[in-house]
Structure 1
Amino acid sequence: MQQALDLRARLRSADDHQFQSAFLELYVHESLDAAGYAVSIHPEVPGGTRRPDFVARRDGAAVYIEAIAPGPSDANRRASARRNDFLDTVNKVGDPNFMLDLDELTVGAAPPPGARLRTELRAWLRSLDPEASYDFANAPAFHWTHEDWTAAFRAIPKAPHARGTTPGDRAIGVYSHMPAAFVDDAPAIRAAIAKKHRAYGELEAPFVVVVGLYIFDTDLDQTTAALYGDVVYEWGRTADGEIVSRAARRPNGYFGAPPGWDNRHVSAVLTVSQLQPWSVPRAETTLWRHPNPAHPLPIGMAFPGDTMDLSTNRLVRGAGLSPADLFALPDPWPRGTAFPPRRKVDPEA
């Protein structure tokens, strides 16, 4: 009963990370239950005091499962909350003639003075002429500082037909304060798995780590790099002097590389990306089997999504269960209108 109460509290939490972690555990539990496993929550493990999330039993075999939804550190979450409060403050400026380009932003260690910031921005925007010939390069600029906060804005005139304000308008029209960067989620995936992989000692049964992700990895390149190593290109020269190249993988994947495979106590990693209550049939779910595990996962282990196997040094994808079929979900899911209009209430009634 206490476990159910704890799960319900996390599902109701206003903290996104608490909700996502709890919903991932619920998703895994219901997947196993729908596939005919007898599931026990927080089972005891031989010789240890810590307990994984689940043990699933079927046909006389047991599989231990640990689910983790990696999130930012507490310090980063607090900084993110302060940044979001700042953006909400600026978006409420509500000028009828200009929208803002947020050009630079340094987040301070304490909440910013929201009312004062809005007052200064409104006064600055009222001093500008929306009929002047501004272009994006020479738009009027406003620099704001407060203690360790800094921000830079540019004013962009609204088109004449778009002037005025309506409820829900956001003052920031362009977010150009974030630099462009290459996306590399592989280190974060490896770190998430490593956070839990040794928590329960050497289990005498298959062990699966489930990782809940919110990354865009439809081609699976990031996860492949996390588990089997980053891709590098090797260059050489033939006896005839011809320069040739080939793609290879660095031995920095979580599973290592042949012949010295790493982390053999983890039989498989299940990645679940973009999981939300309304996206259960569309979540990107993939089971990655260890090429040489200490305890092989049963062939018929039923998780939604595809299965990846390393066969003859080549990664092979096998079609898996459809979440819609496993959970018997209707198409489309969810049913009904996503955002139904609210029924007006007559105060005189």
Structure 2
Amino acid sequence: MAEAELSLFAERERTRQEPLKRGEQLFEFYDSCARDGYDQLRVLLNGWIAAIPEEHRAELVSRMQYGGDEAFGAALCELLVASFLTKSGLKLVFHPDVPGSTNHPDFAVVDEAGKTICYVEVTTVNRAAERAKEQNREAVIYNAIDGAKLPAGCLLGYNLVRAGPSSPATKPLVAAIEQWARDNVEQARTAEMVGRFTAGEWIIEMELYAGGEPGQRGHAIGVASLGGGIIHPHKDIRAALVKKSRRYGKLDAPYVIVVGDGKDQLFSAETVRIALTEAVFGDEKAAMVGGKLRLDYAKNGFWNGPNGPQNQHVSGVLLLPKHTAWHLREEKWHPLLAVNPWATSALSAELKTLPCLENDNGRWSRHDGVNFADILGVPNPWPPE
């Protein structure tokens, strides 16, 4: 394969100024966008890709270009971790052999003699497949309505009431919404105007806003109500750890599992700390000790089980709160490492350079570390102003 083919983004002229469309793949948008900052993003990612050994670079490029958003995010997590480790002065072996297993972790950190000092596996937490498929089907409807032709000064509010198993014909739906807007524009200037529209098994509720400044707009939808739900990031992280912990059997070196959150369910540095702590120790609960109320953990954690310490072969868990490149300079989204106090193989100091949570004289304490973005060579400020 020619060297030019091994870049993630080709060098070419780009003119697109339109924002990301709902349902559009991230790679396609990043590859076409000419807005401020995107040239720098492409240079940054291409630089990291170029440092990956050629035989493994092709696999990452393929997944990021053609695998969809989840594959793009997962491959980016691997790229971030590999780049951080190599730029920290550590030597990596990609997809190493593991004694007694036919499976291969993502990386092995090795010493100058080639001896493995740590295995590293990267995984991501993603939305349920059915919900992702529903969102892709909905994107067809949303984008069609967003292109509706409305009376001057009008915008739409969008709310999905019920989803269907397949994307319906959109032309009749858009035509009905356009006619409804024309019929009700005057009433919408002084009163709330809401209409429900059915397309196949889909039900969409629209609100008409009128009275804005006339002018050329590229989008008919001004307000959108998106789906939500109850979030349990610690449970998602724990489930991902359980799955990966069983993959390689008994290992002859420390083992670190990296988990990237692809569900956007962490909101601050404190939620990152709590999610990681609960994932490994168990759900937070209140307990009475010596007549005083204190914080304790249920024995359902990845490391703290009903019969005491478990999964002791996993020496550390690294949480990547965001698996995008845009947030790397934001302190609240810096990666956080949890160090197993009961590990059968302890992590060496050179593997604990990031901010970490670990046992400190019986207390679970946070210790500062190197700046992930600095090691990766991310420009400062970032994103570009």
- TM-score, structure 1 length as denominator? 0.83
In structure 1, the partner of 2:267 is: 216
In structure 2, the partner of 1:347 is: none
In structure 2, the partner of 1:148 is: 201
In structure 2, the partner of 1:43 is: 96
- Give the distance between the partners of 2:197 and 2:314, measured in 1 at CA: 51
8 Å CA contact 1:94–1:171 kept in 2: the answer is: no
How far 1:30 sits from its partner (Å)? 1.4
8 Å CA contact 2:335–2:372 kept in 1: the answer is: no
**Compared CA separation, residues 63 and 91, structure 1 to 2 (3 A):** same
Pair 1:119-2:175 in alignment: yes
Q: Which amino acid aligns with 2:285?
A: V
SS at match of 1:11: helix
In structure 2, the partner of 1:199 is: 247
Pair 1:309-2:358 in alignment: yes
Pair 1:173-2:226 in alignment: no
SS at match of 2:349: coil
**Residue pairs, 1:1-349, within 5 angstroms:** 1-13=54-66, 15-58=68-111, 62-95=117-150, 96-130=152-186, 134-135=190-191, 139-157=192-210, 159=211, 162-175=212-225, 178=227, 182-213=230-261, 214=264, 215-219=266-270, 220-234=273-287, 245-256=293-304, 260-282=308-330, 283-303=333-353, 305-333=354-382
How far 1:132 sits from its partner (Å)? 5.5
Count of equivalent residues? 322
- Give the distance between the partners of 2:77 and 2:189, measured in 1 at CA: 53
Q: Which has a greater percent of helix?
A: 2
How far 1:206 sits from its partner (Å)? 0.3
SS at match of 2:141: helix
8 Å CA contact 1:255–1:262 kept in 2: the answer is: yes
- Give the distance between the partners of 1:329 and 1:129, measured in 2 at CA: 49
In structure 1, the partner of 2:31 is: none
8 Å CA contact 1:98–1:130 kept in 2: the answer is: no
In structure 2, the partner of 1:344 is: none
SS at match of 1:48: coil
SS at match of 2:236: helix
Identity of aligned residues (%): 24
Uncovered stretches (5+) of structure 1, i.e. residues with no partner: 239-243, 339-349
Q: Which amino acid aligns with 2:148?
A: V
Uncovered stretches (5+) of structure 2, i.e. residues with no partner: 1-53
How far 1:44 sits from its partner (Å)? 0.5
Cα deviation 1:199-218 (Å, max 9, x = unaligned): 11111110000111143242
**Compared CA separation, residues 38 and 132, structure 1 to 2 (3 A):** closer
SS at match of 2:364: strand
SS at match of 1:142: strand
- RMSD, aligned α-carbons: 2.6
How far 1:146 sits from its partner (Å)? 2.9
SS at match of 2:184: coil
SS at match of 1:331: coil
SS at match of 2:61: helix
**Compared CA separation, residues 235 and 302, structure 1 to 2 (3 A):** closer
How far 1:2 sits from its partner (Å)? 4.1
- Give the distance between the partners of 1:298 and 1:110, measured in 2 at CA: 52
Q: Which has a greater percent of strand?
A: 1
**Compared CA separation, residues 121 and 235, structure 1 to 2 (3 A):** farther
Larger Rg: 1
8 Å CA contact 1:232–1:247 kept in 2: the answer is: yes
How far 1:23 sits from its partner (Å)? 1.3
How far 1:81 sits from its partner (Å)? 0.5
- Give the distance between the partners of 1:328 and 1:172, measured in 2 at CA: 38
Q: Which amino acid aligns with 1:317?
A: R
SS at match of 1:130: helix
- Give the distance between the partners of 2:188 and 2:62, measured in 1 at CA: 54
How far 1:29 sits from its partner (Å)? 1.1
